[in-house]
Amino acid sequence: MTAQKKAAAASDAASHGDSNRSASPSPGDADPPAPTELVDLRMRLEERRRQMEQEKKRMEVQWNKQKQRIGKQAFMQVCVQTRTHRPSVLS
């Protein structure tokens, strides 16, 4: 990492209120996350992914219903127009 990137990261951390981090962290200073924290994070991410998939599926169903409704309306409109504009064969 270049000195400019380190300085930018340090100022960004300071501006976000990371008071527990030092201005120039070294790779050995950071404590690895506890396994329970990783499991908790993984579970939250998985739940968020499921919610996003459910929302996507709901939106697809809603979009398909709307397309079906619009298609039916267009078909009925064409049928009505054809009936009113076609000259009668029996007359």
- CA-closest candidate to residue 22, choices 8, 10, 7, 5: 10
Whether 18 has a pLDDT exceeding 50, the answer reads no
In a domain? residue 69: yes
User: Each residue of 44-79: pLDDT tens digit?
Assistant: 999 999 999 999 999 999 999 999 999 999 999 999
Model confidence band, residue 2 (pLDDT cutoffs 50, 70, 90): low
Looking at the structure of the chain, the number of domains it has is 1
pTM over 0.85: no
Asked if residue 43 belongs to a domain, the reply is: yes
For residues 85 and 17, which has the higher predicted lDDT (pLDDT)?
A: 85
Burial of 78 (0-12, 13-18, 19+ CB in 10 A): exposed
Domain with 58, as residue range(s), is 31-86
Domain-embedded: residue 12 = no
